[in-house]
Amino acid sequence: MTKIIYRRDKCIGCTTCSVYDPEHFEMSNETGKAQLKNSTCENETCECALTEGRETAKQAEENCPTTAIEIKE
């Protein structure tokens, strides 16, 4: 199963992920950081299954300036 892993503690709130992949990411008004939609989180690491939108998720991963996003096979 392919999944998106997002490390919130690395996020600087630049909005890149939500621009490239709004299907999986949105910005939090409370924290100013990204949120991984439909994810489960433990501490500062969140993950969700990647079933659709693989190309946009990959773009978010490649363009994140802090490497907070990882697509894992």
- The pLDDT confidence band at residue 34, using thresholds 50, 70 and 90, is very high
- The pLDDT confidence band at residue 60, using thresholds 50, 70 and 90, is very high
Please tell me whether residue 54 adopts helix, strand or coil conformation. Answer: helix
Range of the domain at 23: 3-72
When divided into structural domains, the chain yields a total of 1
| Residues 27 and 36: beta-carbon distance below 8 Å | no
* CATH number of the domain residue 12 falls in: 3.30.70.20
Predicted TM-score (pTM) of the model is 0.94
68: Cβ contacts below 8 Å, ≥ 6 apart: 6, 7, 8, 10, 11, 17, 34
pLDDT at residue number 67: 98
